[in-house]
Amino acid sequence: MSIQLWEKDWAFRQLLETGARSALDAAGFAGRVNAYLVGLPAADQDIAAVERGAPSNRDDPKDIAGRLRLDVIEAIVEDLGGSESDDRADYRYSLALEQHLNHVHTGQGWHYFVAPQSARIADRYVYGVLGVGADELHSAPIHYRVGSDGTSHEMTLVKCVIQHVLEQSALYLAADYRGYSASALSARKFEMLRTAAARFVAVAIDPTGFKYERDGDILLSRISALPYEGREGQGSITIADPEDPFVAPRIRIDPPVPVTDLHAIRKLMEATSPSIGLLMHQQRIFGLGGLRSEESKAASAEHTTIKFTGRGTWQLWQDDRMLLRVKDGLAEQGSLADSPIDTDLPEVIDWLMPGADTAELQRLARAAAKNDHGAMLVIAADAEQEARRLMPQAWRTEPAVLDSELTAQLTAMDGAILVDMTGRCHAIGVILDGVAAGEGDAGRGSRYNNPVRYLGTAQANGRLPCAITVIYSTDGTVNVLPKRPRKVDREFVDHLVQRLRHHTEVKHPDLYDLGVTVKSLIDHRFYLLADDCDKVNRALATLHESLSDWPERRILTADFRPDIRMNSSKFYL
């Protein structure tokens, strides 16, 4: 059954979901994520769960509580090795709950992960749970490894991220069940991603499973960053057992070179080619060579390859699947089954241009992707007027439907292709204009920041964006702008606003809690309506005056303004 586990339990659940979403976004995973809290009784009581959705939404069809049975969970725990009445076997109950959730919801499109530890809150042991879209999860690149006992093990970067988020959420829940400290899940998204990537790489580069070198990803990033006589490093390292019959060493190195000898590894990489790479086993380079045949790829799950593609960039491959790519120390999962053209573009079209020919626009976007140096496609609601306005920094054309070949050819020149909602071209070589509006990314080039300014101009003038841009960077990154905002709980936003106002009403506010609350408001500022912004700004002004001796008082000067793109449809009411 679904009951309230503690007052405002949904605030912690919302922060867990937001934190998981932030870390998974950073990892390049755009699948669905729902957060839940499940409480197992400490005494003779019914099982309880808090489902996704605010407390007013108890009849949510995604409720996971209705089919949970405590007797089944206890039976699974017994099969896993028994249970203790005084000292709960947290991990076994976690495994049992996860197994039970996935069994009773088979075929419903979700896969559930449970935190390895619980927190004792009142008369229940509470676990954080993340439900992830099963189709999206299964499309994530998987690393396979055969253990010493012959069993197959599967791992993805997405699973590593989810596991780490749940581990951290369990610590926050035990420390502060009110949940305010859990906002750090979002604030530490890159730190959590780096830890998850290190775990993933440790398993991938050590197929024996005995040496879990958790800094392997840093070692590889350092190798990729090392120049050799001014040249960037490009080459590969294949993980393989020297006794594997499918491995063909051309040269054996004796004694093997430790992978921690960075300069030696970088020098050896100069001898590699597309068909000959370094061979590594248990963190040591034992030779140069390759695999004997294509069939060998299916014969052993241990043939994982690290490909160095430039300064500070490398990729992790197994067979013909890219599992992971790392640039300047930041990891992202490898090639997805679906690109942003298939996932993000239809959503943004539905949001800003209902009635547009989505299939035709996707066809053009895929054709524009076949470029050698980056490209841009601009979809404008009034493309004819925009083509006139953007002259002379664009060439107008008679409205025409472009075939895929011509679209790809037009991307060879600088500037964007401008099309209308039906896909007809109105201008080529388009240079976008716009004003800086506090958004953008200084680490990206003009191909990314020009459309950010272009779209931001409409927002600065109090209008919704009038166009959609699809951006292809030279490094292979694809961005669809603007991004469609996700929905959040209205009650969660109210909770943050009320929590801030509470600090103005007490004589000695909890400064840590205040800082966490302000940080959460900044993270969710898009969802603040005009009345919310007024309340927050008044509260911040009051606190700024009363906390004149607080060194970190500068965070209380943030000016919140309603976002023109926000309306009540962005809430789960």
Mean pLDDT confidence for 425-444: 67
- CA–CA gap between residue 19 and residue 192 (Å, rounded): 10
Q: With helix as H, strand as E and coil as C, how does 308-371 read?
A: EEECCEEEEEECCEEEEEEECCEEEECCCCCCHHHHHHHHHHHHHCCCCCHHHHHHHHHHHCCC
Q: Is residue 207 part of a domain?
A: no
A 10 A CB-CB count for 232 gives 15
- CA–CA gap between residue 536 and residue 547 (Å, rounded): 16
CA distances from 5 to 19, 26, 37 (A): 21, 31, 9
Q: Is residue 208 part of a domain?
A: no
Q: Is residue 210 part of a domain?
A: no
DSSP state of 151: -
Return the CATH number at 290: 3.40.1700
* Residue among 371, 372, 350 at smallest CA distance from 361: 350
* Residue among 425, 437, 439, 342 at smallest CA distance from 378: 425
Split at pLDDT 50, 70, 90, the class of 396 is: very high
Give the bridge partners for 471, in sequence order. 376, 479
A 10 A CB-CB count for 543 gives 21
Q: Is residue 42 part of a domain?
A: yes
Split at pLDDT 50, 70, 90, the class of 299 is: very low
Q: Let me know: does 499 contact 535? Beta carbons within 8 Å.
A: no
Per-residue pLDDT reduced to its tens digit, 501-526: 988 888 888 777 787 788 888 888 88
Q: Is there a single domain that holds both residue 292 and residue 400?
A: no
A 10 A CB-CB count for 489 gives 23
Listing DSSP states for 252-275 in one string gives: EEEEEEETT-HHHHHHHHTT--SS
The pLDDT, as a whole number, for residue 555 is 67
Residue of higher predicted confidence among 398 and 329:
398
- CA–CA gap between residue 105 and residue 147 (Å, rounded): 29
Q: Is residue 423 part of a domain?
A: yes
The pLDDT, as a whole number, for residue 319 is 75
Structure tokens at 126: 């509470």
The pLDDT, as a whole number, for residue 298 is 45
The pLDDT, as a whole number, for residue 183 is 73
Instruction: Indicate if the pLDDT at residue 210 is higher than 70.
Output: no
Residue type, 482: P
Residue type, 292: R
Q: Is there a single domain that holds both residue 51 and residue 133?
A: yes
Q: Is there a single domain that holds both residue 441 and residue 544?
A: no
Lowest average pLDDT, out of 46-50, 397-401, 417-421, goes to 46-50
Q: Is there a single domain that holds both residue 23 and residue 165?
A: yes
Give the bridge partners for 145, in sequence order. 153
- Torsion angle defined by CA atoms of residues 440, 443, 448 and 451, in that order, rounded to the nearest 10 degrees: 20
- Location of structure tokens 């969660």: 492
Return the CATH number at 359: 3.40.1700.10
Instruction: Indicate if the pLDDT at residue 561 is higher than 80.
Output: yes
Q: What is the mean pLDDT of the chain?
A: 78
Q: Is there a single domain that holds both residue 315 and residue 371?
A: no
Instruction: Indicate if the pLDDT at residue 572 is higher than 50.
Output: no
Give the bridge partners for 310, in sequence order. 313
Q: Is residue 392 part of a domain?
A: yes
427 φ, ψ (degrees, to nearest 5) = -165, 150
Q: Is there a single domain that holds both residue 371 and residue 520?
A: no
Structure tokens at 512: 């840590």
Q: How many domains does the chain have?
A: 4
The pLDDT, as a whole number, for residue 423 is 92
Residue type, 383: A
Q: Is there a single domain that holds both residue 495 and residue 390?
A: no
Q: Is there a single domain that holds both residue 129 and residue 169?
A: yes
- Location of structure tokens 């430039």: 310
Instruction: Indicate if the pLDDT at residue 430 is higher than 90.
Output: no
Percent of the chain with pLDDT over 70: 79
Q: Is residue 251 part of a domain?
A: yes
Instruction: Indicate if the pLDDT at residue 450 is higher than 90.
Output: no
Give the bridge partners for 238, in sequence order. 279, 305
Split at pLDDT 50, 70, 90, the class of 54 is: very low
Which residues are within 8 A (CB) of 74 and not within 5 positions of it... i.e. 6 or more apart? 83, 96
The pLDDT, as a whole number, for residue 64 is 61
Sign of CA dihedral 382, 385, 390, 396: positive
* Residue among 388, 444, 451 at smallest CA distance from 416: 451
Q: Let me know: does 140 contact 157? Beta carbons within 8 Å.
A: yes
The pLDDT, as a whole number, for residue 48 is 53
Enclosing H/E stretch for 512: helix 511-523
Q: Is residue 61 part of a domain?
A: yes
Q: Is there a single domain that holds both residue 24 and residue 65?
A: yes
- CA–CA gap between residue 496 and residue 382 (Å, rounded): 39
Split at pLDDT 50, 70, 90, the class of 533 is: very high
Q: Is there a single domain that holds both residue 296 and residue 265?
A: yes
- CA–CA gap between residue 333 and residue 196 (Å, rounded): 11
Split at pLDDT 50, 70, 90, the class of 306 is: confident
- SS3 of 78, please? helix
Q: Let me know: does 214 contact 203? Beta carbons within 8 Å.
A: no
Domain final residue, candidates 446, 481, 516: 481
Mean pLDDT confidence for 96-117: 86
> How many residues are listed for the chain in this entry?
573
Mean pLDDT confidence for 335-351: 74
Q: Is there a single domain that holds both residue 273 and residue 381?
A: no
Rounded to whole angstroms, the maximal C-alpha distance in the chain is 79
Mean pLDDT confidence for 519-535: 87
Cis (ω within 30 of 0) for the bond into 274?
no
- Location of structure tokens 């300069």: 263
Domain final residue, candidates 159, 178, 197: 178
Domain final residue, candidates 461, 481, 501: 481
Q: Is there a single domain that holds both residue 283 and residue 360?
A: no
Which residues are within 8 A (CB) of 25 and not within 5 positions of it... i.e. 6 or more apart? 189
Residue of higher predicted confidence among 319 and 506:
506
- Which domain does 62 fall in, by range? 9-178
Instruction: Indicate if the pLDDT at residue 452 is higher than 90.
Output: no
Split at pLDDT 50, 70, 90, the class of 130 is: very high
